[in-house]
């Protein structure tokens, strides 16, 4: 969607769109159509944009042209949904639009996650009207507000020679050498980029703003771009703070004023070593061996979905997506993740129960499995499961850092620690969920503790950190998930439940799990009824066939008994629904 605003008689475009990992709705200005006209044998009837290697009608993208007027400053911001980046950029547009005679344009692209997803803000400022209804292909300024993005996205793509790159990170120059992938370091060196860092997370935590780094990064943006004199920017920013937070009291005002001052003062210039120009590419997205993940999910998650040719998506022509693919995302968006204190834990499983992302789970392992586990797999004797060991496993890369688990723990056996400190335990999690064999539930699964020994068949969803809805949906999958069919209405649950390309509903070791489909608009009751009637029809058709086979008399006594048993019980599910209805329970 794109919304047009006109503030102070200056044309502005403020847009937002929901995409499926696509980077460019409009490919900018490409010369492919002109090149086609000039070709010896131009295509008569063609498409532009998506690579159509099935019909062969699409034109190849040739040279991308920068058609923005001279003097336009183009800025791109890579933010994390809910860190305030988009709001701050809207505020920057307003400050510049209201207080100068410059033209301003903003366009905001989001992925389909709830908060915690990626946001990319495209801002242009200039003294001549901006007529550029497409994303920024050539940027003067790029800011990366989340440290993990340097290994996930091509964040410097299109950053102009001599442009400015600001990275929010805690790294000093030696650590940057290690943490930045080779291709990024090489780009900075080859294109003579002015490189700056700022530890906005540390500043925000010190001030008491938690994860809200927006004001700090916005102040840095004004300082580094010089679009308006920094003293004026500070004055306007503080005015905007008063306008937005004035009713929240002096303490909140002071915290945000401090964010502006410290954002400007804490920027560090990094001298890019000449040797970085020789840095080698690093493998950022190692192959998983799962073809769908490697060829479709990974490019879409890298914001490269528009580059997928149609032939790759032919398998999805019927609209189906494989389940369980959210497990491959490993987003690493948490700032703090829980550390399990084995000596304090009383094995109540409440932490696993409340986790919205199924990122903390009780594991029951044999002595042998513990002995073969990677370093850090500490376990204690399981209460109520003789002969087994108990460990509360945490996935640092799937945790969203909400702290629900630590809050609920009755004995404070979970301590929130910086993500980096817990990363060595990712291997422990991988072993716990992939290599430790699933055990029969030693408890009553209809209890809090017992339910958590069942595998959650909803995991690592695109829900906000601390979501109050997904723990219940997850619990339903633990109780009934291997036989569930879900007719999802459109709303929050359809977004976290199918943040394409990743699917958080998954399967157990027997290959059983929920099937899920989404009906647009609020008609999922009828939609679900249709699914129910469809299943009923299929079942009755099968019953007719079984009756015919039995009547034929050519089956063994054992198979005949099994068939008769199935016929006698085939309506159990329907009978249950009717019973629940008669008791007014559904």
DSSP class of residue 31 equals S
Task: Output the smallest distance, CB 581 to ligand SF4, in A.
Answer: 36
209: burial class by Cβ within 10 Å (0-12, 13-18, 19+)?
buried
Task: Output the smallest distance, CB 324 to ligand SF4, in A.
Answer: 19
Task: Output the smallest distance, CB 436 to ligand SF4, in A.
Answer: 17
DSSP class of residue 295 equals I
Tell me the C-alpha distance between 399 and 144, whole Å. Answer: 21
Tell me the C-alpha distance between 34 and 48, whole Å. Answer: 12
Structure tokens at 169: 């990170």
Tell me the C-alpha distance between 117 and 464, whole Å. Answer: 9
Phi, psi torsion values for 190, nearest 5 degrees = -65, -30
Considering only the stretches 122-130, 353-361, 505-513, 549-557, report the one whose residues sit in contact with ligand SF4 under the rule CB under 6 A.
353-361
Determine if 363 is a binding residue for ligand SF4 (CB under 6 A): no
Residues 303-342 close enough to bind ligand SF4 by CB under 6 A: 337-338, 340
Determine if 458 is a binding residue for ligand SF4 (CB under 6 A): no
Q: Of 143, 345, 385, 458, which one interacts with ligand SF4 (CB under 6 A)? A: 345
Q: Of 92, 132, 135, 348, which one interacts with ligand SF4 (CB under 6 A)? A: 348
Determine if 456 is a binding residue for ligand SF4 (CB under 6 A): no
Q: Which residues of 286-319 are buried (b: 16+ CB within 10 A; e: fewer)?
A: eeeeeebbeebbbbbbbbbbbbbeeebeeeeeee
Considering only the stretches 231-239, 343-351, 495-503, 574-582, report the one whose residues sit in contact with ligand SF4 under the rule CB under 6 A.
343-351
Size of the site for ligand SF4 (CB under 6 A): 29
Task: Output the smallest distance, CB 28 to ligand SF4, in A.
Answer: 38
Determine if 467 is a binding residue for ligand SF4 (CB under 6 A): no
Specify the residue, 20 or 346, whose C-beta has the smaller distance to ligand SF4: 346
Considering only the stretches 43-51, 64-72, 144-152, 347-355, report the one whose residues sit in contact with ligand SF4 under the rule CB under 6 A.
347-355
Among 48, 12, 8, 19, residue whose Cα is nearest residue 124? 12
Specify the residue, 411 or 578, whose C-beta has the smaller distance to ligand SF4: 411
Phi, psi torsion values for 359, nearest 5 degrees = -100, 5
Question: Mapped to the 3 state alphabet, what secondary structure does 219-240 carry?
Answer: HHHHHHHCCCCHHHHHHHHHHH
368: burial class by Cβ within 10 Å (0-12, 13-18, 19+)?
exposed
Tell me the C-alpha distance between 540 and 89, whole Å. Answer: 58
Q: Of 10, 212, 357, 361, which one interacts with ligand SF4 (CB under 6 A)? A: 357
204-209, Cβ contacts within 8 angstroms, sequence gap of 24 or more: 204/259, 207/255, 207/258, 207/259, 207/262, 208/255, 209/255, 209/256, 209/259
Specify the residue, 263 or 362, whose C-beta has the smaller distance to ligand SF4: 362
Task: Output the smallest distance, CB 115 to ligand SF4, in A.
Answer: 13
Instruction: Quote the distance between the C-alpha of residue 195 and its chain's center.
Output: 27
Determine if 350 is a binding residue for ligand SF4 (CB under 6 A): yes
Residues 387-446 close enough to bind ligand SF4 by CB under 6 A: 392, 394, 399-405, 408-409, 411, 413-414
Determine if 97 is a binding residue for ligand SF4 (CB under 6 A): no
Specify the residue, 223 or 357, whose C-beta has the smaller distance to ligand SF4: 357
Determine if 347 is a binding residue for ligand SF4 (CB under 6 A): yes
Specify the residue, 30 or 455, whose C-beta has the smaller distance to ligand SF4: 455
CB 360 within 8 A of CB 401: no
Among 298, 25, 17, 328, residue whose Cα is nearest residue 152? 298
Task: Output the smallest distance, CB 442 to ligand SF4, in A.
Answer: 15
Determine if 166 is a binding residue for ligand SF4 (CB under 6 A): no
Helices H / strands E in the chain, number of each: 21, 18
**Residue where the block lists tokens 């799990």:** 513
Specify the residue, 9 or 343, whose C-beta has the smaller distance to ligand SF4: 343
Specify the residue, 333 or 436, whose C-beta has the smaller distance to ligand SF4: 333
Specify the residue, 417 or 541, whose C-beta has the smaller distance to ligand SF4: 417
Residues contributing to the site for ligand SF4 (CB under 6 A)? 337-338, 340, 345-351, 355-357, 359-360, 392, 394, 399-405, 408-409, 411, 413-414
């Amino acid at each position: 969607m794109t919304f047009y605003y006109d503030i102070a008689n200056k044309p502005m475009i403020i847009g937002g769109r929901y995409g499926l990992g696509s980077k460019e709705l409009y490919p900018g200005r490409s010369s492919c159509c002109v090149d086609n006209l000039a070709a010896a044998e131009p295509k008569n009837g063609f498409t532009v944009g998506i690579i159509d290697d099935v019909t062969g009608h699409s034109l190849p993208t040739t040279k991308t042209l920068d058609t923005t007027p001279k003097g336009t400053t183009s800025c791109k911001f890579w933010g994390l949904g809910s860190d305030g980046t988009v709001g701050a950029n809207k505020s920057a547009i307003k400050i510049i639009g209201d207080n100068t005679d410059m033209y301003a344009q903003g366009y905001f692209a989001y992925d389909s996650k709830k908060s915690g997803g990626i946001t990319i803000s495209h801002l242009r400022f200039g003294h001549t009207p901006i007529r550029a209804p497409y994303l920024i292909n050539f940027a003067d300024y790029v800011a990366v507000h989340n440290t993990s993005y340097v290994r996930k996205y091509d964040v410097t793509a299109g950053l102009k020679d001599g442009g400015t790159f600001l990275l929010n990170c805690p790294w000093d120059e030696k650590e940057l050498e290690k943490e930045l992938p080779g291709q990024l370091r090489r780009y900075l060196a080859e294109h003579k980029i002015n490189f700056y860092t700022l530890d906005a997370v540390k500043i925000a935590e010190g001030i008491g703003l938690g994860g809200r780094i927006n004001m700090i990064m916005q102040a840095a943006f004004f300082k580094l771009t010089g679009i308006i004199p920094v003293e004026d920017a500070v004055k306007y920013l503080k005015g905007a703070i008063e306008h937005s937070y004035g009713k929240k009291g002096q303490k909140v005002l002071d915290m945000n004023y401090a964010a502006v001052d410290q954002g400007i003062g804490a920027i560090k210039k990094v001298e890019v070593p000449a040797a970085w120009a020789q840095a080698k590419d690093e493998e950022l997205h190692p192959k998983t061996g799962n073809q769908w993940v490697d060829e479709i999910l990974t490019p879409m998650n890298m914001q490269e979905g528009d580059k997928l040719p149609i032939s790759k998506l032919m398998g999805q022509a019927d609209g189906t997506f494989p389940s369980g693919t959210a497990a491959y995302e490993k987003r690493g968006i948490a700032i703090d993740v829980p550390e399990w204190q084995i000596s304090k834990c009383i094995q109540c499983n409440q932490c696993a129960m409340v986790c919205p992302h199924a990122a903390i789970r009780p594991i029951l392992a044999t002595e042998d499995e513990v002995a073969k586990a990677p370093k850090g797999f500490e376990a204690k004797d399981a209460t109520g499961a003789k002969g087994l060991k108990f460990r509360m496993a945490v996935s640092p890369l799937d945790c969203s850092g909400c702290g629900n688990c630590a809050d609920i723990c009755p004995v404070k056996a979970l301590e929130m620690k910086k993500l980096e400190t817990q990363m060595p335990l990712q291997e422990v999690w991988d072993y716990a969920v992939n290599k430790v064999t699933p055990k029969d539930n030693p408890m009553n699964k209809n209890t809090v503790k017992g339910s958590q020994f069942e595998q959650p068949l909803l995991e690592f969803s695109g829900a906000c950190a601390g979501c109050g809805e997904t723990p219940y949906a997850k619990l339903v999958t633990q109780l009934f998930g291997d036989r569930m069919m879900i007719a999802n209405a459109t709303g929050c649950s359809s977004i976290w439940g199918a943040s394409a390309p990743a699917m958080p509903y998954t399967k157990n070791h027997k290959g059983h799990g929920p099937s899920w489909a989404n009906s647009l608009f609020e008609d999922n009751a009828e939609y679900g009824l249709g699914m129910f009637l469809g299943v009923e029809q299929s079942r009755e058709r099968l019953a007719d066939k079984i009756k015919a086979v039995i009547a034929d008399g050519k089956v063994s006594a054992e198979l005949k008994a099994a068939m008769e048993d199935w016929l006698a019980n085939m309506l159990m599910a329907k009978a249950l629904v009717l019973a629940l209805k008669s008791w007014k329970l559904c």
